[in-house]
Amino acid sequence: MSLLCAESPHLLNHLESAGIKLLWHPSLSEASSSECLLLMESIIRGATPLDILCLEGSVIQGPDGSGLFHRMAGSDRPMRDWIRGLSQVAAHVVAIGSCAAFGGITAGGGNPAEACGLQYHGEEPGGLLGEKFRDSRQLPVINIAGCPTHPNWVLETLMQLAHDELGIHDLDDLHRPRNYTDYLVHHGCPRNEYYEYKASAEKPSDLGCLMEHLGCIGTQAQADCNLRLWNGEGSCLRGGYACINCTAPDFEEPGHPFLQTPKIAGIPIGLPADMPKAWFVALASLAKAATPDRLKKNAVSSTIKISPAKGKPSS
């Protein structure tokens, strides 16, 4: 559904401009279930070429490794067997979303479905296809992780593959495209001034920084959500919701409530990965001492109380 929101150009124009022919898509294709099965059988036996296999959703291996919890409609075969067969003949394999990449939400809790990603199970390599899987160009599964993914993360990756311009150096250590994971969600966050002065929100409707009390880990999350806005204008933080690092493995099991910042001796655990805790304590103390009155009051309000222009109450 996120991919269908692609714009400038929209999805179908984008694919056409890249020379990508859509063989089948669950929301766009008119083919019946029996026609879809015939298409997949044709691909597996080599009669129909498949350049890019895209999977959304985790792979269901249960119960007891049989895969029978999730069968392909119209067939008696587990979906995971179809996925494995298609992966072996596809030129490239792309996991779209954190579920397909790492197991995601479906693998949370006790994981009774035995869900996993295509080439990862959480942080551990493996998954359905195994750690050593490589496609025809010696690339691993490309993990466009996110819950959900930004449509342009998907389209940019597909265009790079279509033009043979994506190599192993374009993927990070979790095989995610670096075109979005070379950035942090913190970059471009509209609450950055509050973060700099440690002027923190105390409840979800407040305008202040969400890191100190409300669970935001945008300083660690690798994605460009606040630089490449959703639907032209939105992001989780712009909507008032803390970043939960949905592009990372095991984000669904943080070990604490999403909107709560775990602390030790009053120091948030979720600090930027490259910031020593001692420095944070020193900088936070200085920043709080220097916080303008405007930010102190606006941080714990749902609307701007004091204008930044003159430091006076807004009319």
pLDDT tens-digit readout, 226-254: 999 988 889 999 999 999 999 999 999 99
First to last CA, the chain: 41
Chain centroid to Cα 79, Å, comes to: 23
- The per-residue DSSP string of 275-295 comes to --HHHHHHHHHHHHHT--HHH
Q: What is the DSSP letter of 58?
A: P
pLDDT digits (tens, 9 = 90+) for 184-226: 999 999 999 998 888 999 998 999 999 889 999 998 899 999 9
E strand residue ranges, 186-285 = 263-264, 267-268
Q: Average pLDDT in the 18-27 region?
A: 92
Q: What is the pLDDT of residue 91?
A: 97
239, amino acid identity: G
Select the more confidently predicted residue: 302 or 129: 129
Per CATH, which fold does 3-180 belong to?
A: Rossmann fold (3.40.50)
Where are the CATH 4.10.480.10 domain residues in the chain? 183-301
pLDDT digits (tens, 9 = 90+) for 123-139: 999 999 999 999 988 99
Q: What is the pLDDT of residue 54?
A: 97
Task: Tell me the pTM.
Answer: 0.89
Is the pLDDT assigned to residue 312 strictly greater than 60? no
Check if CATH label 4.10.480.10 holds for domain 183-301.
Answer: yes
Pairing of strands 52-56, 92-96: parallel
Range with lowest mean pLDDT among 109-113, 161-165, 265-269: 265-269
Residue 235 burial (C-beta neighbours within 10 Å; 0-12, 13-18, 19+):
buried
pLDDT digits (tens, 9 = 90+) for 39-87: 999 999 999 999 999 999 999 999 999 999 999 988 989 999 999 999 9
Distance, CA of 62 to CA of 79 (rounded, Å): 11
CB-based contact 53:92 (threshold 8 Å): yes
Say what percent of the chain tops pLDDT 70: 93
Range with lowest mean pLDDT among 122-136, 158-172, 282-296: 282-296
Chain centroid to Cα 66, Å, comes to: 28
Look at the chain and count its residues: 315
Rounded to the nearest integer, the mean pLDDT of the chain is: 90
Contacts of 282 (CB under 8 A, 6+ apart): none
Structure confidence at residue 277 as a pLDDT band (50, 70, 90) = low
Q: What are phi and psi of 267, to 5 degrees?
A: -100, 125
Where are the CATH 3.40.50.700 domain residues in the chain? 3-180
Distance, CA of 29 to CA of 9 (rounded, Å): 20
Encoded tokens for 91 = 């030129």
- SS3 helix, strand, coil % of the chain, rounded to 5? 25, 10, 60
Q: Average pLDDT in the 297-311 region?
A: 80
Encoded tokens for 11 = 């999805």
